[in-house]
Amino acid sequence: MNYNIEYFLCELAVPTIVLVVTTIWRKNPPKPNWWWGYGSSRSMSNVEAWNTAQELFGKYCARVFIPIIAVSLIAGISAVYMRFEKNTSFTLCMILCAVNVIAAIVISIVTECKLRALFDEHGNYKSQ
């Protein structure tokens, strides 16, 4: 298989999987646990905080990862049709992977800040 196609599939895999999984969490939040779902101390403090965290995290992921998928598609198709050199394709893939990681970290921070604004440390809604 052409290395450009391999990198293209790699570039698309991560944001697509994140988008699919977080959409599932939004529609059908799992029960609170440390293995599956957006799990932090605040989100796991009660079921209401947990469900809100899944909704927020999924919403933010959709807003961020759909454009990342679009950029990955453009970059990958360009690499395949323009026949980028292997080092160029690898560098592009690593940059897009780094963007995915940074996006996930930023989304987690934003989600946690929003949870902190909505819930106290025991998972109770803060009075407005």
To the question of pTM greater than 0.85 for the whole model, the response is: yes
Alpha helices in the chain (DSSP H): 3-27, 47-82, 86-118
Distance, in Å, from the CA atom of 125 to the CA atom of 2, rounded to the nearest integer, reads 53
CB 121 within 8 A of CB 38: no
| Per-residue model confidence as pLDDT tens for the chain (128 residues) | 578 888 888 889 999 999 999 999 999 999 998 889 999 999 999 999 999 999 999 999 999 999 999 999 999 899 889 988 989 999 999 999 999 999 999 999 999 999 999 998 888 888 75
Kindly list the distances between the CA atom of residue 40 and the CA atoms of 36, 66, 88, in Å, as whole numbers in the listed order: 11, 24, 38
Distance, in Å, from the CA atom of 108 to the CA atom of 114, rounded to the nearest integer, reads 10
